[in-house]
Structure 1
Amino acid sequence: MIYYTLNNLLGQVGAIFRWHGILLDTPEPWQLGFQDAASPVMEEVIFLHDQIMFILTIIITAVLWLIVRALTTKHYHKYLYEGTLIEIIWTLIPAAILVFIAFPSLKLLYLMDEVIDPALTIKAIGHQWYWSYEYSDYGSDTIEFDSYMIPTSDLNNGDLRLLEVDNRIIVPIQTQVRVLVTAADVLHSFAVPSLSVKMDAVPGRLNQTSFFIKRPGVFYGQCSEICGANHSFMPIVIEAVSLDKYIHWVANWSAETD
């Protein structure tokens, strides 16, 4: 009951921030928490994290209290030092806690691996040191482009250093998107925290991940596998737009390439 009350309170605080237009879709200086969730899977990740942190707070408080009492009290109950009963208690309670954590963790694990028929497939290819993307669902009108980081000297006011790219991935909201991830040279990793997406890019192998974006926005990620000297200079930017805007973008791209 206390856990769900805290979750509701956190949800209300989050709703207040969203009502004021404040969404943490980018990393912040000295950030300790997650970025705001933009997909159902990321919401579940945050819920599991909050649940485990709540349990950890209770455990740490109880253990510290027992340690302090044991160190500061001369006449302490002997069964708290040794005995069959205390051995049974501190074996069963951790086992019950692990079971309580394991079930939602397994649920989330299978949710992340669930294969859903995608409405859109994008191929992401990691290079040293940039990403290239292919939209191959449109027959002969395949959309292909490279995505390079914008140098600091070319940034405009409000742009994010080391995170902006010249060509963003454009996807529609409320749509199941599959991403096929591979690499052309060395190991890379395609990762976008707000969407709970992280998939290794292995040369000669196709890995698959997917996401479902619930709201419009611009979501930032980076290569998460050390891949060489410019590893930290190959960001990922996904822009989620309405279906009408996405269709307009595809039509414009096709017209430019004809």
Structure 2
Amino acid sequence: MRPGEVWLVGAGPGDPGLLTLHAANALSQADVIVHDALVNADCLKLARTGAALEYAGKRGGKPSAKQRDISLRLVELAREGKRVLRLKGGDPFVFGRGGEEALTLVEHKVPFRVVPGITAGIGGLAYAGIPATHRDTNHTVTFLTGYDSSGVVPDRIDWDGVARGSQVIIMYMAMKHISAITSSLMAAGRDADEPMAFVTDASTQSQHVLETTLSRAAQDVASSGLQPPAIVVVGQVVRLRPALDWMGAAAGRVLTADPLGNRANAQKDSA
């Protein structure tokens, strides 16, 4: 890293072992690390001695810094001659506002680099034993966000098109509006009994997985006590979890033979 430069880096879904070599290298060099709420604290332990840590988390429904202010703070730090690491959960360009921050740096002529990270929609599901794709279940997958910049369900999503056109749907930041989202999908023709899963604290030892169905999702989430953020998946790939739950198997847990019975199966996983 060079003084006056900003690196926009993805920290992955949680497990520090999923940091890339470039991410670990940036942590060892940065003068200032501006990090999100979703960055695992264990990742920050890799920061070099003396590095300044600045929290810039944005959590839905809670007071948080405005995106424009965060972007301009990166500019300010770079102009002070600092080596600046902007550390973001998952991948900075997958619903991470990395594009907005990069465009601000371009606007102010600040040199930058982008280091991709493992997005939760792939890595988080893998830790829950749910593949994003499988030849026997799907040849398409759609990634979408459950709310827009104003905090409501995005009105520009073609729910009919998504419901009809994608065999697997992976959703970020969708728990808050899950009732409206599942209703839209079922109204567009998705099967009410289609399997669905919620993964919270993905890839960490506090990971929880809730398996349910499209019609029961809102009720089961409410009764489970799970709190966002969560990665949410709809589709037949969820049925593969009993066989592929490698975290549960490693912990010596008994895998559920029928996760899609009359009741949702809420299971706590640990490495």
The normalised TM-score by structure 1 is 0.29
Greater strand proportion: 1
The normalised TM-score by structure 2 is 0.28
Greater helix proportion: 1
